[in-house]
Amino acid sequence: MNDLSGELIDGRYELLRQVASGGMATIYEALDTRLDRKVAVKIMHAHLANDEEFVGRFIKEAKAAAALSHPNIVAVQDQGWNQNGVPAVFLVMELIDGHTLRDYLFERGALSPAESIQFLIPILSALAAAHKIGIVHRDIKPENVLISSTGRIKIADFGLARGELLGSTMTAESSVILGSVSYLSPEQVQRGIADARSDLYSVGIVAFEMLTGAKPFEGDSPIQIAYMHVNERVPLASSKKSGIPASLDALIYKATSSNPDERPAHAGEFLESLRLIQSELDPKKTQMSLELDLPPAPIRDKSRKAPRVSPVKTSPSSDTVETMALEKELKPAGEKTSEIRRRRASSRVRRNRWIALILVIALGTGAWYVLVGPGTRIVVPSVAGMSVKEAKATLKPLGLTSEISEKVFSEEIPSGKIISSKPGGGGRVSAGGKVLFQVSQGPERYKIADIKGFTLEAATALLTKDPVSIGTISEVFSNKIEQGLVVASDPVAGTSVKRDTSIDITISKGQEQVALTSYVGLSGEQALNELTTEGFDVSSVYAFSDTVPIGAVISQSPDGGATAAKGAKIDLVVSQGSESVFVPNVYSLTQAKATGVLQDFDLKVIVKKIGKKSIKTVTNVSPTVGTKVKRGSTVVITVG
């Protein structure tokens, strides 16, 4: 799908940048221009917008998620079809600033039981709300568990959700294909059906991965992983890592049972069991709801007004009379009232003069600051998040120059965008001064080199030129790579990885040598099937033999008892039977029957006809009956 960044959807949502893209839709960070807030806009791919079934499923997702009002579920705010500009079916959701549980596990690896429970309780609380109204998520996995920058845990992507509010337009096949095979329950893989217990199986797999740092089943292909989920029992998490409490271990084991009837009935039951385990692990822990960041504050009833309190009235007599008496005593004898007033007036004048002096000093200081002091310095506008070109265009009208002081990696700021400036936004610089930029190089990633066919030493030297580490070294048989050379790496060549990523290397043990069985005298079909199954390249030729029965092996190369590498060529010589046959007795048979008998013995037939009978039979055979001849020889029969 083309990048729609910069488009205005529905006359309201300005698409700022792509956040993620999947098989069905692309998610953008957008600005709601009406409410001036950031949102996430999910837009269906253009090639699906004309498919009524996909559009219907997309709209049902909006209705399902909108029906769920819970602090741990990503809220849906709007849905519609863009009528102006680029045609687009869209869904508007709250924008979660943070990362996914997959990112968290990638950075942290295995979590402690206490940390795992802190993640599981909000997840199960959200699912309990969904299960309560008959909605099943169907795609619980670490990628769909979001962790906001404030620590809030949110369940996202009800794109596979199904329940009474959604109907049943999704087929079993499509739902299994769209789901994530590592977390699918056996019943989803086998029959394409799911209920609340299927979500709990997925939660159990997520819990297993959080506690151990690995999924219970790993394979080379999704089909192989799905097969293991159907045919194998998820092991106890404690078998992979020690230190897991027995009660938590048993609960996860129960949730990942292959039989749905053995799992908790719904998320609420699972949640209650998990809270009991949490209280057992830490009895002193405050038992408040972990789904909410803060408990709700009580709202005061506005209809109730505070009682009015009448002010206490004081009598003017006592304090006033005492004050007047005191003033009278303090007046010097014979002093007139006019003199007292002049004295008071003089003190006010002195006070005003001081105030005027302070104002003059302040105005003078301000004038100096603005005209010749630091006030003449230019305020630097904020350029963080701009490209270098945009930032220079912003600074140029102010008479400021700029240059890049350093380039650093950033997981959050796109490559080529400015992370910070010196001075920063709001800082000051002299007229004509210079502003230094710190520019993002984008995420720090290193591409894995192709080391196939290298020696281990050469491969290690090539890989460690970048800041990555060498992980596990394993060996496998290979028919194509010589012994001691690299077969493959994990992650594979060309993959971009983070700093300090561990690279596993697989070394060839050469071709696997297998002891050969002798098939001489045995069925050629048996030899062909068994040798091919063992990985050999089998070639069969046929020859006549007077001693070996037809269809049996006359000889093989290499001989039985020798060893050969898997994939090696094995030559078989299979008997066609004896090269010679005896002419059979076909006297008195009709021409057709006699010809068929002789051809069954691999003999050619020439017919000579005599007489005028309507039904002619064989009257003579040459060579005579019983004569030993080679297969393919000609026999002449006379019919009459």
* Residue 66 or residue 537, greater confidence: 537
C-alpha–C-alpha distance, residues 173 and 447, integer Å: 36
Two tokens at 606?
């020439």
Q: What is the pLDDT of residues 176-196, one digit of tens each?
A: 333 478 899 998 888 778 889
Query: Which class for 223: exposed (0-12), middle (13-18), buried (19 or more C-beta within 10 A)?
Result: exposed
- What's phi and psi for 523, nearest 5 deg? -60, 135
Quick check: 508 and 494 in contact, CB under 8 A? no
pLDDT at residue 290 above 60? no
| Topology classification of domain 513-575 | Trypsin Inhibitor V; Chain A (3.30.10)
| Topology classification of domain 580-639 | Trypsin Inhibitor V; Chain A (3.30.10)
Name residue 562's beta-bridge partners: none
* CATH architecture entry for 99-281: Orthogonal Bundle (1.10)
pLDDT at res. 169: 32
Neighbours of 64 (CB within 10 A): 24
C-alpha–C-alpha distance, residues 273 and 166, integer Å: 30
Q: Could you write out the DSSP letters of every residue in 82-99?
A: E-SSS-EEEEEEE---EE
- Tell me, yes or no, if the pTM score tops 0.75: no
Quick check: 538 and 532 in contact, CB under 8 A? yes
Looking at 32, 97, 103, 139, which residue is catalytic?
Answer: 139
Q: What is the pLDDT of residues 368-382, one digit of tens each?
A: 555 445 545 787 887
> Was domain 383-440 assigned CATH 3.30.10.20?
yes
Q: Which of 293-302, 419-428, 432-441 has the lowest mean pLDDT?
A: 293-302
Q: What is the mean pLDDT of the chain?
A: 81
C-alpha–C-alpha distance, residues 508 and 482, integer Å: 6
pLDDT at residue 424 above 90? no
Number of helical (H) and strand (E) elements in the chain, helices listed first: 15, 31
Q: Which CATH superfamily is domain 8-94 in?
A: Phosphorylase Kinase; domain 1 (3.30.200.20)
Q: What is the pLDDT of residues 294-346, one digit of tens each?
A: 333 333 443 333 333 333 333 333 333 333 333 333 344 444 444 444 555 45
C-alpha–C-alpha distance, residues 546 and 579, integer Å: 7
Task: List the chain domain ranges.
Answer: 8-94, 99-281, 383-440, 446-508, 513-575, 580-639
Could you tell me the CA-to-CA distances from 418 to 313, 383, 385, 404 in Å, in that order?
67, 7, 5, 9
> Band of the pLDDT at 640, cuts 50, 70, 90?
confident
Percent of the chain whose pLDDT exceeds 90: 34
pLDDT at residue 489 above 80? yes
Check if 8-94 and 446-508 are the same fold: no
Tell me the mean pLDDT in the region 238-263.
94
> Band of the pLDDT at 452, cuts 50, 70, 90?
very high
Residue 448: DSSP 8-state: P
| Topology classification of domain 446-508 | Trypsin Inhibitor V; Chain A (3.30.10)
- Specify whether 78 is catalytic: no
Two tokens at 471?
């992980």
Quick check: 229 and 189 in contact, CB under 8 A? yes
Closest CA to 96 of 140, 136, 153: 153
Quick check: 591 and 635 in contact, CB under 8 A? no
